[in-house]
Amino acid sequence: MTTSSSPTPPVSIATITLHRGQLIVVSIIGLVLGVIGLFLPNVALIAIAIVFGIYLIASGIFRINTALLVPRLSVGARWVTGILGVLIVVAGVICLSDPFGSLIVLAFVIGIGWIAEGLSDVMAAIQGSVHPRWFGWLSGILAVLAGITMFVLPYFSLATFLFIGSILLIVVAVSTLLTLPRAARA
């Protein structure tokens, strides 16, 4: 089998400069968000709650729009989509009216997801579809414990997430800045 190897076109100075500039901007944003998360965790958590509420409102409006404007949607699907959209918009408004309360709800949703995932992992270990089986047991039990922790200590759990995420943002941003492509010389 023959393969044709075409020479790779040279990367222009403008492309390297643009890529380098984008990496610098993204890294600076990551650094700023990481520092805010570390030193102003309450502000960061409330901002997350507000963004969550805005997301819910936008998602609900999208569903209502779909229910009203998609031409080939069945009547039942149209009603379900529209009602679900209205409920999601209401949930978003509630989140915006009580950001701290929406953080607790978000923690509970994460906890439910982890418990469900943990039970799924344990069932996979019981059925033998995970190799080695002990890994399924371990990951399942840890996920269930993490989910329970989200229910028992929701704010602490989210604050811990924020702390770890902030450190990771700072580490990734600094490592990106330290490994930037070299600036092209004119």
Mean pLDDT of 155-172: 91
Give the dihedral sign, CA 139/140/145/151. positive
Burial, 85: exposed, middle or buried (Cβ in 10 Å; 0-12, 13-18, 19+)? buried
Q: What is the pLDDT of residue 144?
A: 96
Q: Cα separations (Å) of 108 from 99, 102, 138, 154, 157? A: 14, 10, 22, 7, 10
pLDDT tens across 106-162, in order?
A: 889 889 999 999 999 999 999 988 888 899 999 999 999 999 999 999 988 888 989
Find the mean pLDDT for residues 49-71.
91
pTM: 0.62
Max Cα–Cα distance, the chain, nearest Å = 66
pLDDT > 80? residue 182 = no
> Residue 48: its pLDDT value, please?
85
CA distance 99 to 158: 13
Under 8 Å between Cβ of 173 and 31 = yes
Residues above pLDDT 70, as percent of the chain: 88
Sequential DSSP letters for 40-51: -HHHHHHHHHHH
Question: Which segments of 70-98 does DSSP mark as H helices, in order?
Answer: 75-97
Distances, alpha carbon 23 to alpha carbons 27, 106, 134, 177, 178, in Å: 6, 31, 41, 7, 11
Instruction: Tell me how far apart the alpha carbons of residues 80 and 64 are, in angstroms, rounded to a whole number.
Output: 10
The DSSP secondary-structure symbol of 7 reads P
- Across the chain, mean pLDDT equals 87
What pLDDT, in 10s, does the model give residues 66-89?
999 988 889 999 999 999 999 999
